[in-house]
């Protein structure tokens, strides 16, 4: 039995941190040895995440990059945007593998980052070496990377169904791509707010940041990289009264007429992917809860030159912690499915 | 004090029937005197709708058109599709005013009806005289009508925001109109099914009948009547895990560039409408629950020639029972707001 | 047409304030003329309560007792506990009728108040003249009162089913009364907290303040007044993942054997009550949502000397705003049902 | 590597079947080889349970006991009550280990079975050899058993917290034990009904079968076995608008005064149990979702001679499939935690 790889989770008490901790328990080659929280340091981890009681015996600590570097081999950064930027450099320079679940290393252009996050990027050279961690698309780069920028939940749900069509050259680059994406409320994090207060969000539904969500430049960046297109993407996100899941519908303009059969066979590119399931009819959030699956379907429409794509993911798993673990597996040269084999839960 | 107008509700025990009964209690000029149910005849109404206990003392009866015609002055038909067709004729011929909440008299073309509902329309001449009851658009026709085809819930939510832009001539008739509409589960009726079973529908979301929902021809018919356009409409409906409400997003192709200000002023056409509220930002289902309001907003986009429209309605009120009562008020020459002045409930 | 009675609502933007505003719109004799909010003064009311858009045109103001006294005839105080205490005196001394929805005037003993609310009661003499506003029980006192202490939501749900049995002398005063009460989350108010954060409260249920909830002394005070008993009451409240409603189960020790029939006839005391409905089987939260009804049932048990009582109320209506309006009607000598005739909503 | 033990699941498409399939995927020593469904035979398993897509490749078959006996080593029976009775005999006689998740072998008295299930028990001698599978209490008997009657969900949630107090002799056998138990809706099974229709059950809560639920004789039987008491138990179950979980509150009469500390130390009997967690304050359904944990707490009360016990379980895991797997592990002499180590999910 080899020594397990030592894992640290920086920012362990949020929903993403909790999900990493849940999933890593099922991973045969790693051991979480260090967990941090600024607000709850010196507190037992399971006081803040009681569902993990009986499974972890760790004490939350304040985050000190040097200490983390010393104690662990691979670090999941689960801080808020702008909070990871500096610390990541220390960890990478110490030779550690880092998977950053914040947005700090996702946008390749420091200017775009500054525009959307309101802060000058302090690590432009490190930014260049970061790998965007959409596993199915950038697997070989991830395998070589030291710093993985784990994708946002909305970009994951949107890009996975779009990718095969861009790759095949079917996109009509002159028209808008429309992305209408409905997200469960855990996507807004664990901090209480007026919008996420139970009695405001239950029996409710509302769009937000229409055309102005920070995941839009991330989506556009990747569409450009794959298809070389700089056209307009309309992105409408919603708060959906469920705990978990994103159901994404994409109205995709095509540059030619494609039959239902042809549309479906375009998804063959994913044939051997362990976490992509092609489904008939609409995907259902209920079928991916708790799992790393991305369920995808495609519909021909009454309009020859527009297809409808749909995907369902669990925003905390494939949209965050699960994909991060998938990326860890790729970085470490392990079977990509380790720690992620458990199916979701239903109902 | 005048005698109240006598009301019958045919098919009173479904959610639409219940909502009619709830709202009509607040109407000063009418009295519900007759309620029918095939499955529960001879049963007290409030055994089937206990929330109305203490407010109604009626016994459910089997539906006999002649009896209904004799006992009542105005009839709300709340049967399933295809079940109203024949009976409505008897009632109209007896000189009664009829508001049919089923789809049977909504589609002007018998051929289209047959195509979508799988049944030859047996009353084509009566169909010609039926008035489509989207109150804000066809008010003067409704005032003259004897038979009102009350609109479907999805068409109401979609057509009200689109209408001002069609009317103003801003539609680019060569491109697709995209309607992405999320509906609460009461829209599927009161009959238990696998899809509407709590544990299947809670913490879930799924699209259904993509491009093939029966409300599509109804929407297309009205777009053609208003804008003379026979182009493609893509319509994607979803089951949303809330009891009530439809949140509709329309991606509307424009034939010219319109500023945010101009887009908003296009909605001025609704300035004096008592049940249309123009809101800033996204409408929220939570703000229209229980009311007859349709909340509408419009967003300019990064694409000069596409606007995003959104609406929120309560599918059981503006999408069914409320609009039916609004239509009754118009038919009777009463203040359109009678019985509908109560705001919704929040939270 | 008489001039309407002028109403002020102090603390108008919480859920109770919103519910008062919703219901008062349906009251024929009053007009809300003044609304206050410390956090949102100078803001249009409907910015904070958009569901009321199109129904109110008021601007929120800071609370100044003298100003309120000048502008209004009757005042609903919907502030948090301890915040009403002083101001109420000013209003009462100005000859105004006051209905206080906080706990400040509910406990007759200043010592008990201090023990549970951590603050010396500054108005002990005014406290003596306050009337506990459980309408069905203290109607005649309310009719004479100037200051009504509107009951807490849990005490309303618990005391109404218990009262007839205490009144009839059936209580075994030597044993515990057990109250197990499940409340919707709006009962916790509009301020976001960790416990009421959607993703924490959805698909969850938890008891809280077991045996230590501030509504316990209120319940015990009333049991003592009615039955002269100082025995133990066990009170277990829960957060239930619904917006509205309290379902209360009482395990009531009896001093004699009572048949199911006799138990039911004990409820005959409520025969003419407009807002109490006796139901067979369990009450259901879904049947009282939005209404001022209290649905009550009683069950004989396998134990001769214990009965099970159940009640369902809407915590925001009969548990707060609705009962406050009912009390206003009694104070003013009006029909008790005014403003409260609308049934609830279902589903 | 040893050959895996071959598992059959009879009645695989319900929620319990689905949960068995989910959990068994994580078990290192078994392989599900045979799944049956009468309604969906010849259908791929994952058509009926799409959340398992990509994880199972089985075809549903009709149930034939001989075939099952031939194909598998251990059988989970997940049929409805009365459907297992006969078939179980065939399987046991064929030398197979059987874990029956129905009620058919839970009640030791054929007369009690007949009274509550309306059917004469056809296998009284087999009934005698069946072991009641409440693992923590009957572990050694389970280890020797061939036929395990897996406990009902409510009895599991009620008996686990009560047991230590009965065992210690603290029960006042002259007074009622009161059990107030709130269950998620998956407990009602997968068959759509009026009560479990989304729009009826959401924003609702209702008790049902008050004092008359079939799990009552099961609870009473075990209390008698442990404490020799034939007194009255009051059992009130509720439908709670969540998918999963039972929160049980027990009002337990004590025969002596016990301090909070003493009450807590009584739970020490569970110190080494892998699936029982003692928690401070109320257990929370949200912390056991998806896991085999039973979270327990105890509260001293204002009444010296009554304690409040609370437990939270996931009705589909510890209340059904999880405990069944725990029992399998005990029967097979394996580590009891196999297949059940994954923590639950949160949120």
Residue among A98, A147, A151 at smallest CA distance from A125: A147
Instruction: Return the bridge partners of A178, or none.
Output: A234, A251
H-state helical runs in B145-256? 153-167, 198-201, 215-227
User: Cβ separation of C199 and A185 shorter than 8 Å?
Assistant: yes
Residue intervals of chain D classified under CATH 3.30.360.10 are 154-315
Residue intervals of chain B classified under CATH 3.40.50.720 are 5-129
Using one digit for the tens of pLDDT, what is the confidence trace for A63-104? 999 999 999 999 999 999 999 999 999 999 999 999 999 999
Pairing of strands C97-100, C177-184: unpaired
User: Cβ separation of A199 and C193 shorter than 8 Å?
Assistant: no
User: Cβ separation of D241 and B199 shorter than 8 Å?
Assistant: no
Chain B residues in contact with A232 by the CB 8 A cut-off are: 301-303
What interface predicted TM-score (ipTM) does this complex get? 0.97
d(CA C187, CA C154) in angstroms, rounded, equals 9
Mean pLDDT along residues C246-269: 98
Tokens of B53: 């206990």
Using one digit for the tens of pLDDT, what is the confidence trace for A223-263? 999 999 888 999 999 999 999 999 999 999 999 999 999 99
Instruction: Return the bridge partners of B277, or none.
Output: B295
State the nearest Cα–Cα gap between C224 and chain A, in angstroms: 35
State the nearest Cα–Cα gap between A54 and chain D, in angstroms: 7
What SS3 class is residue B87?
helix
Chain C residues in contact with B52 by the CB 8 A cut-off are: 343
> How many C-beta atoms lie closer than 10 Å to residue C316's C-beta?
31
Chains in contact with chain A (at least 3 beta-carbon pairs closer than 8 A): B, C, D
> SS3 letters for chain D?
CCCCEEEEEECCCCHHHHHHHHHHCCCCCEEEEEEECCCCCCCEHHHHCHHHCCCCCCECECCCHHHHHHHCCEEEECCCCCCCHHHHHHHHHCCCEEEECCCCCCCCCHHHHHHHHCCCCCCHHHHHHCEECCHHHHHHHHHHCCEEECCCHHHHHHHHHHHHHHHCCCECCCCCEEEEEEEEHHHHCCCCCCCCEHHHHCCCCEECCCCCCCHHHHHHHHHHHHHCCCCCEEEEEEEECCCCCEEEEEEEEECCCCCHHHHHHHHHHHCCCCCEEECCCCCEHHHCCCCCCEEEEEEECCCCCEEEEEEEECCCHHHHHHHHHHHHHHHHCCCCCCCCCCCCCCC
pTM, two decimal places: 0.97
pLDDT at residue A1 tops 70? no
The answer to whether D281 touches D297, Cβ cutoff 8 Å, is: yes
State the nearest Cα–Cα gap between B200 and chain D, in angstroms: 8
d(CA A109, CA A262) in angstroms, rounded, equals 36
pLDDT at residue C331 tops 90? yes
Q: Region of D339 please: left (phi>0), alpha (psi -120 to 50) or beta.
A: left
Tokens of C303: 């134990």
Question: Is the link from the previous residue into D347 a cis peptide, with omega within 30 of 0?
Answer: yes
Question: Is B168 exposed, middle or buried (CB count within 10 Å of its CB: 0-12, 13-18, 19+)?
Answer: middle
End-to-end CA, chain C: 37
Using one digit for the tens of pLDDT, what is the confidence trace for D227-263? 998 889 999 999 999 999 999 999 999 999 999 999 9
Using the Cβ of B287 and the Cβ atoms of chain C, whether some distance falls under 8 Å is answered with yes
Using the Cβ of A301 and the Cβ atoms of chain B, whether some distance falls under 8 Å is answered with yes
Percent of chain B surpassing pLDDT 70 = 100
State the nearest Cα–Cα gap between C179 and chain A, in angstroms: 25
- Split at pLDDT 50, 70, 90, the class of B230 is confident
User: Cβ separation of B199 and D192 shorter than 8 Å?
Assistant: no
Chain A residues in contact with D51 by the CB 8 A cut-off are: 286-289, 291, 343-346
Using the Cβ of D236 and the Cβ atoms of chain C, whether some distance falls under 8 Å is answered with yes
User: Cβ separation of A199 and C190 shorter than 8 Å?
Assistant: yes
The answer to whether B298 touches B311, Cβ cutoff 8 Å, is: no
All residues at 6 or more sequence positions from B111 whose CB lies less than 8 Å from its CB, including other chains? none
Tokens of D142: 């389970």
Residue intervals of chain C classified under CATH 3.30.360.10 are 154-314
Mean pLDDT along residues C305-314: 97
User: Cβ separation of D192 and B190 shorter than 8 Å?
Assistant: no
Mean pLDDT along residues B217-239: 95
What SS3 class is residue B252?
strand
Tokens of C312: 């369902």
pLDDT at C128: 97
Of C51, C52, C341, the CB nearest to B25: C341
Mean pLDDT along residues B310-333: 98
pLDDT at D1: 59
Top CATH class, B154-315: alpha beta
Residue among D81, D25, D19, D73 at smallest CA distance from D322: D19
State which fold the C154-314 domain adopts. Answer: Dihydrodipicolinate Reductase; domain 2 (3.30.360)
d(CA B313, CA B311) in angstroms, rounded, equals 7
State the nearest Cα–Cα gap between C305 and chain B, in angstroms: 31
Q: Region of C136 please: left (phi>0), alpha (psi -120 to 50) or beta.
A: alpha
Cβ pairs A/B, distance under 8 A: 144
Architecture per CATH, domain C5-129, reads as 3-Layer(aba) Sandwich (3.40)
pLDDT at B1: 59
Dihedral sign for Cα B65, B69, B71, B75, please: positive
Residue among D321, D293, D337, D248 at smallest CA distance from A51: D293
Using the Cβ of D195 and the Cβ atoms of chain C, whether some distance falls under 8 Å is answered with no
Nearest chain C residue (CA) to B27: C342
Chain C residues in contact with D244 by the CB 8 A cut-off are: 203
d(CA B195, CA B205) in angstroms, rounded, equals 10
**C-alpha atoms less than 13 angstroms from C-alpha of B123 in its C-beta half-sphere:** 21
Mean pLDDT along residues A206-219: 97
Chains in contact with chain D (at least 3 beta-carbon pairs closer than 8 A): A, B, C
Pairing of strands B5-10, B74-77: parallel
Which positions of B are annotated as active-site residues? 153
Using the Cβ of C241 and the Cβ atoms of chain A, whether some distance falls under 8 Å is answered with yes
d(CA D106, CA D134) in angstroms, rounded, equals 10
Chain A residues in contact with B306 by the CB 8 A cut-off are: 176, 234
Nearest chain C residue (CA) to D176: C303
pLDDT at D245: 98
Q: What is the CA radius of gyration of chain C?
A: 20
Using one digit for the tens of pLDDT, what is the confidence trace for A152-196? 999 999 999 999 999 999 999 999 999 999 999 999 999 999 999
pLDDT at C50: 98
Using one digit for the tens of pLDDT, what is the confidence trace for D31-52? 999 999 999 999 999 999 999 9
State the nearest Cα–Cα gap between B110 and chain A, in angstroms: 22
Angle, vertex CA D334, rays to CA D328 and CA D338, nearest 5: 75
Of C184, C193, C198, the CB nearest to A201: C198
Mean pLDDT of chain D: 97
Mean pLDDT of chain B: 97
d(CA D341, CA D343) in angstroms, rounded, equals 6
Nearest chain C residue (CA) to B203: C203
Mean pLDDT along residues C184-211: 97
Mean pLDDT along residues A276-289: 97
User: Cβ separation of A346 and D51 shorter than 8 Å?
Assistant: yes
Tokens of D58: 């089985």
d(CA C53, CA C61) in angstroms, rounded, equals 18
pLDDT at residue D109 tops 70? yes
The answer to whether B277 touches B290, Cβ cutoff 8 Å, is: no
Of C185, C194, C241, the CB nearest to A192: C194
Mean pLDDT of chain A: 97
- Split at pLDDT 50, 70, 90, the class of A281 is very high
d(CA D71, CA D78) in angstroms, rounded, equals 17
pLDDT at residue C1 tops 70? no
Using the Cβ of C302 and the Cβ atoms of chain D, whether some distance falls under 8 Å is answered with yes
Using one digit for the tens of pLDDT, what is the confidence trace for C115-131? 999 999 999 999 999 99
Cβ pairs C/D, distance under 8 A: 144
Chain D residues in contact with A277 by the CB 8 A cut-off are: 53-54
For residue A153, what is the enclosing H or E element? helix A153-167
User: Cβ separation of A192 and C196 shorter than 8 Å?
Assistant: yes
pLDDT at residue A285 tops 80? yes
Distance, CA of D213 to chain centre: 15
pLDDT at residue B180 tops 80? yes
pLDDT at B131: 98
Chain D residues in contact with B197 by the CB 8 A cut-off are: 190, 192, 196-198
Q: Which of C116, C282, C298, C346 has the highest number of chain D CBs within 10 A, making it the mutation to test binding with D?
A: C282
d(CA B132, CA B151) in angstroms, rounded, equals 7
Of B49, B50, B293, the CB nearest to C54: B293
All residues at 6 or more sequence positions from D190 whose CB lies less than 8 Å from its CB, including other chains? B197, B199, B200, D13, D14, D15
pLDDT at residue A317 tops 80? yes
User: Cβ separation of A285 and B203 shorter than 8 Å?
Assistant: yes
Nearest chain D residue (CA) to A285: D51
> How many C-beta atoms lie closer than 10 Å to residue D125's C-beta?
7
Pairing of strands C206-207, C233-240: antiparallel
Of B55, B341, B343, the CB nearest to C51: B343
Mean pLDDT along residues C198-225: 97
Considering A24, A35, A77, A153, which one is annotated as catalytic?
A: A153
Using one digit for the tens of pLDDT, what is the confidence trace for D297-338? 999 999 989 999 999 999 999 999 999 999 999 999 999 999
């Amino acid at each position: 039995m080899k020594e397990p790889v030592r894992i640290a989770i920086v920012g362990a008490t949020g929903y993403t941190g909790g999900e990493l901790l849940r999933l890593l328990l099922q991973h045969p080659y790693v051991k979480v040895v260090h967990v941090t929280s600024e607000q709850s340091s010196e507190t037992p981890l399971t006081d803040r995440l009681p569902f993990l009681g009986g499974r972890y015996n760790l004490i939350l600590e304040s985050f000190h990059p040097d200490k983390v570097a010393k104690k662990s081999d691979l670090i999941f950064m689960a801080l808020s945007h702008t909070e990871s930027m500096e610390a990541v450099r220390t960890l990478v320079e110490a030779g550690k593998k880092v998977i950053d679940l914040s947005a700090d290393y996702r946008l390749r252009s420091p200017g775009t980052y500054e525009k959307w996050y309101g802060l000058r990027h302090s690590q432009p050279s490190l930014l260049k070496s970061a790998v965007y961690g959409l596993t199915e698309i950038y697997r070989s780069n991830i395998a070589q990377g030291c710093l993985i920028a784990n994708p946002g939940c909305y970009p994951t749900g949107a890009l996975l169904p779009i990718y095969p069509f861009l790759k095949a050259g079917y996109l009509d680059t002159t028209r808008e791509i429309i992305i209408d994406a409905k997200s469960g409320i855990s996507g807004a994090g664990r901090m209480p707010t007026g919008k996420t207060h139970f009695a405001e969000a239950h029996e409710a539904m509302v769009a937000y940041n229409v055309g102005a969500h920070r995941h839009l430049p991330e989506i556009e960046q990747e569409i450009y990289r794959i298809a070389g297109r700089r056209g307009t993407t309309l992105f409408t996100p919603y708060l959906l009264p469920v705990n978990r899941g994103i159901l994404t519908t994409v109205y995709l303009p095509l540059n030619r007429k494609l039959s239902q059969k042809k549309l479906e066979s375009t998804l063959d590119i994913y044939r051997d992917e362990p976490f992509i399931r092609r489904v008939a009819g609409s995907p259902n959030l209920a079928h991916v809860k708790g799992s790393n699956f991305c369920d995808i379907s495609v519909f021909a429409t009454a309009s020859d030159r527009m297809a409808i794509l749909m995907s369902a993911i669990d925003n905390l798993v494939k949209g965050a912690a699960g994909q991060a673990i998938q990326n860890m597996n790729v970085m470490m040269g392990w079977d990509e499915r380790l720690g992620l084999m458990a199916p979701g839960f239903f109902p």
